Amino acid sequence: MDVAFPPGRHGWLCPVIWARDLTKSYATKTSGDVLAVDSIDLEVGPGESFGILGANGAGKSTTMRMIGATLQRTSGELTILGHDPQHEGPLIRAHLGVVPQQDTLDTDLTVRENIYVYGRYFGLSRAELQPRVDDLLDFAQLQDKRDAKVDSLSGGMKRRLTIARSLVNEPSLLLLDEPTTGLDPQARHLLWDRLFRLRETGVTLVLTTHYMDEAEQLCERLVVMDAGRIVAEGSPAHLIRTHAGREVVEVRFGAQRSNEVVPHLAGIGQRTEVLPDRILLYTEAGEADLHEIVARGLTPTTALVRRASLEDVFLRLTGRTLVDE
C-alpha cells in the first residue's frame, strides 16, 4: 500500500475505494461550471457489494468513471486499492473490471474473440487466456454462441458478455454502471444470478442503478446520490427503516378528488406524500390504516398496502421519484 489512511469510519485497514471531498466539475458554455460530483466521501471495503443509487444525472456515472481511473477528479482525494488514479491509472485499471453503461463490445469480433482480445490488452498471454476464456464463456452461458458475431446477440447476452469480458484480468474490484438498464425481467434475473455468484468469490462489487429492486437484491450497503451529493448511506434495510418506515398504503382517488381528500386523511399513518397520481401514507400498520380510510368514507379507486422500499427512501430524501413514469 502506497498511502497511509486516516482511520475511516468503517475501520478497514486497506479499503478498496477511499474518497474524501471527491469533486468533479465541468466547464460548460451555457451555464458556467457544473458540479457533477460535489465533495462526496466514500469508503468501500474488500468483498463488499456497494451500490450507488440515484436518478439520471445524479453523478453516478461520473463517480464510477473517476473510480475507474478514466476520468480525472477536479479536487478532493481518491485512492483505489491504495493507488492514486491521477498518477497510477494503468496500474489501477489492471485491478479493475469495468462494465460501462453503454456496451463497448467490439462488433468486428466474435463473442470468444471479444474476451480473448480484451485479455490481450492487459498483456495476458495466449496460453493463460485460452482456458480462462473458455471458463468465462461457461460463466456467461454463451458457450454455444462463442463464434457468433456480437450484433446477433440479445441485449441480455451482450451484457453477460460484457461482464465476462470484464472478468478476464481477474479483477479484485468490479464496476458495474447500470448493469441491467434496458433488459427484460428474465434477462435481469439471469444477470443478477451471475452477480450473486461473483459476490461469493470475494470480488468487490460497486454498482450504480436507478432500480430499487436491484439495489435491494445486490447491495449490502449503498449511498443515495442526488444532484452530485450523497444524501444518505447505509444498508437497504437500515435506509428503509430510517427514512420510510415499515409499510406504505398507496391510494388513488383520481386527479380531481386527490387534493380534496388529503385533509380528511389527517391522523392516518405517520407521514403523507401527495404525488400527482396517488397518495402515499407511511405507516407501521398498513391494513389497519386502509380500513380506517374506508371507514371514513373516502373510497379510493385503487388501494395497495405494501412493504416500504428504497423507492420511498428516495422519494423522501429527494422529493422526486426515481424512475420517470
- Give the interface with other proteins as residue ranges (CB under 8 A): 1, 12-14, 16, 45-47, 68-72, 81-82, 87-91, 93-96, 98, 100, 102-109, 113, 117-118, 120-124, 128, 149, 169-172
> Within a 10 A sphere around the Cβ of 62, how many other Cβ atoms?
21
Query: Between 203 and 268, whose beta carbon lies closer to other proteins?
Result: 203
Q: Checking DSSP bridges between strand 204-209 and strand 173-177, what pairing results, if any?
A: parallel
Q: What's the gap between Cα 40 and its chain centre?
A: 16
Min dist. Cβ of residue 216 to other proteins (A): 26
Q: Say how far apart CA 255 and CA 237 lie, in whole Å.
A: 33
Q: Give the C-alpha separation, 90 to 159, whole Å.
A: 24
To other proteins, the closest distance from the beta carbon of 185 in angstroms equals 27
List the 32-44 sheet strands across, edge first.
32-44, 17-28, 75-80
How many angstroms separate the CA atoms of 143 and 136, rounded? 9
Q: Which is nearer to other proteins, 167 or 308 (CB)?
A: 167
Q: How far is CA 25 from CA 36, 40, 93, 208, in A?
A: 6, 13, 23, 20
Residue 223 beta carbon to other proteins: minimum distance, rounded to whole angstroms: 21
Nearer to other proteins, 94 or 183 (CB): 94
AA identity, residue 311: E
Among residues 17 and 293, whose Cβ is nearest to other proteins? 17
Q: Which is nearer to other proteins, 91 or 227 (CB)?
A: 91
Pick 170 or 213: Cβ nearer other proteins? 170
| Min separation Cβ 109 and other proteins, Å | 6
Smallest separation, CB 73 to other proteins (Å): 10
Instruction: Tell me how far apart the alpha carbons of residues 240 and 263 are, in angstroms, rounded to a whole number.
Output: 26
Q: Alpha helices of 266-319 — where are they, by DSSP H?
A: 286-295, 310-318
- Cα 161 to Cα 98, 151, 172, 216, 285, distances in angstroms: 12, 12, 18, 24, 45
| Shortest Å, Cβ 210 to other proteins | 22
**Which CB atom, from 76 or from 321, has the smaller least distance to other proteins?**
76
Coil vs helix vs strand at 121: helix
Distance CA 237, CA 258 (A): 31
Please, what is the minimum distance in Å from the beta carbon of residue 165 to other proteins? 8
